[in-house]
Amino acid sequence: MADGDDREIWRATDAFIGWLDAHGIKSHDPYDIWGTRYGLMARRLYYAKSPLGTLLVAPLVASELLCPGLIRMFVKKQRFATAEAQLALAFLNLHAATGERQHLVRAEALVRGLLDLSIPGYSGHCWGYPFDWQNNRGLWKRDTPFITATPYCFEAFLAMADATGHHEFLDVAASVARFVARDLKDSVTSTAAAAGSYSPNDRTHVVNASAYRAFVLFEASRRWGVEEYREIATRNLAFVLESQREDGAWLYGLNSPPEAFIDHFHTCFVLKNLVKINRWLERRDVGEAIERGWRFYRRALFDADDTPRSFAVEPRLQLARVETYNLAEAITLATLVRSSFEDASPLARRLAAQVVHEYQVADGHFVTRTVRGGVRHTKAFLRWPQAQVLLALTNLLAVASESPRSAEDSFVGLAT
């Protein structure tokens, strides 16, 4: 798909928007089944290394991979803040690319709707997921705010403020920064570094969580001149840099054996936050970390035909062959770093062509994943990966148009 021939991407985005209009913003989610009482019990026993846990988890894995539509029998559709924020950013991309007011109107409606999903009781606006999440560290209840969800809403409010000039959107973004600075915890990891927590209730050392927090607070410091934000962000950034391995990779989490894995989309999360941070910092050590990370990413997280691999080292049981979520994050990351690495823009174009030609369903939405053996998931989950795919494709459209930047680029400029 050549740079001058974006007609297929435009057709794909138009078809998806048609599907979205019919589908609505409420959706099922891949994690729904794991949030049921049975799913929570099964995962709790599994993480406790109980043989019974393995037996109980097996039918849920099979259902998730082979019969994802069964979830509608047990769980109602819900709204997901991350999906709505990413959709808003996508419509802002379309507005930037076309100048058509209808896209700005849709983005504004989505951004305003995020206020309904904001979780009360904290120092500022924040967002999480509407399901219980049992992980290796215990049970995290629904509507726990997460640093992996909140930054997308932060970006959406800032992008709306930039697009409209309305100060009310900036006020919400400033409120988000207060939550990120005050309610999340720091765990000191060296004389210069501290890991930022995933939520207000933990002290985990998850690398992408610290990268997200550092991005939000550096951006907030730049916007509002709050030195405290910059100091916290600097420590979190140091943790991310110190966590990078010699080969350029980042483990998902440190000090927790179950989290010592390297996967595709979490690597994208770390890299894209570093890129956004360094647009303004222009630090040599951050640039070198990005370069090492990109080289590892291209070497270890793609097959020979440039299909994204889910893990750098495959788990013993890995039934999904292609995760469309990985494709979406790869397109977005490659678009962000297109000026820095000569292989980035061609990669983004190839993956976009693959998504449009091979992974879009007739009604306009996108395949969720392809399982080994060729079975394709066509059950549409808005948070995984429908919203991410639309954002990725519109990132490409925005930078290919006369518009100087995409919505995701709005905090970093195009020269990344």
- pLDDT at res. 1: 45
Tell whether the model's pLDDT for residue 416 goes beyond 50.
no
Per-residue pLDDT, 134: 78
3-state helix, strand, coil split of the chain in percent (to 5) is 60, 10, 35
The answer, yes or no, to whether residue 318 has pLDDT greater than 70, is no
Mean pLDDT of the 196-204 span = 95
Phi/psi at 240 (5° precision): -60, -45
Residue length of the chain: 416
Regarding predicted confidence, which is higher, 356 or 140? 356
Structure-block tokens of residue 98: 């076309």
> What phi, psi does 194 have (nearest 5°)?
-150, 140
User: What fold is seen in the domain 7-32+75-411?
Assistant: Glycosyltransferase (1.50.10)
Percent share of the chain, pLDDT over 70: 91
From the list 131, 119, 129, the residue with the least C-alpha distance to 37 is 131
To the nearest whole percent, how much of the chain has pLDDT over 90? Answer: 74
Q: CA 302 to CA 281: how far, in whole Å?
A: 30
Q: Is the pLDDT of residue 4 over 80?
A: no
Confidence band (pLDDT; 50, 70, 90) for 314?
low
Alpha-carbon dihedral sign for residues 164, 170, 171, 172: positive
Tokens of 15: 């078809």
Distances (CA, A) of 223 to 62, 218, 232, 264: 47, 9, 15, 31
pLDDT digits (tens, 9 = 90+) for 95-112: 999 999 999 999 999 999
410, pLDDT greater than 60: no
Tell me the pTM.
0.92
Q: What is the mean pLDDT of residues 265-273?
A: 98
Q: How confident is the model at residue 37 (pLDDT cuts 50, 70, 90)?
A: confident
Question: Which stretch of 163-172, 189-198, 242-251, 320-329 has the lowest confidence by average pLDDT?
Answer: 320-329
Where do you find CATH 1.50.10.10 in the chain? Answer: 7-32+75-411
User: What is the pLDDT at residue 5?
Assistant: 65
Going by pLDDT thresholds of 50, 70 and 90, the confidence category of residue 2 is very low
**Is the per-residue pLDDT at 413 higher than 60?**
no
- Give the pLDDT of residue 411: 44
Tell me the average pLDDT across 375-402: 92
HEC string of the chain? CCCCCCHHHHHHHHHHHHHHHHHCCCECCCCCHHHCHHHHHHHHHHHCCCHHHHHHHHHHHHHHHHCHHHHHHCCCCECCHHHHHHHHHHHHHHHHHHCCHHHHHHHHHHHHHHHHHCCCCCCCCCCECCCCEEECCEEECCCCECCCCHHHHHHHHHHHHHHHCCHHHHHHHHHHHHHHHHCCCEEECCCCCEEECCCCCCCCCEHHHHHHHHHHHHHHHHHHCCHHHHHHHHHHHHHHHHHCCCCCCCCCECCCHHHCCCEHHHHHHHHHHHHHHHHHHCCHHHHHHHHHHHHHHHHHCECCCCCECCECCCCCCCCEEEEHHHHHHHHHHHHHCCCCCCCHHHHHHHHHHHHHHHCECCCCCECCEEECCCCECCCCCHHHHHHHHHHHHHHHHHHHCCCCCCCHHHHCCCCC
Look at residue 281 and tell me whether its pLDDT is greater than 90.
Answer: yes
The pLDDT score that the predictor gives to residue 120 is 97
Mean pLDDT for all residues in the chain: 90
Q: Return the minimum-mean-pLDDT range out of 130-144, 276-290, 359-373.
A: 130-144
Lowest-confidence pick of 2-16, 201-215, 267-281, 297-311 = 2-16
Task: Spell out the residues 6+ positions from residue 41 whose beta carbon is closer than 8 angstroms to its own.
Answer: 56
pLDDT per residue as tens digits for the range 148-194:
999 999 999 999 999 999 999 999 999 999 999 999 999 999 999 99
Give the whole-angstrom CA distance, residue 365 versus residue 24: 12
| pLDDT at residue 82 is higher than 90 | yes
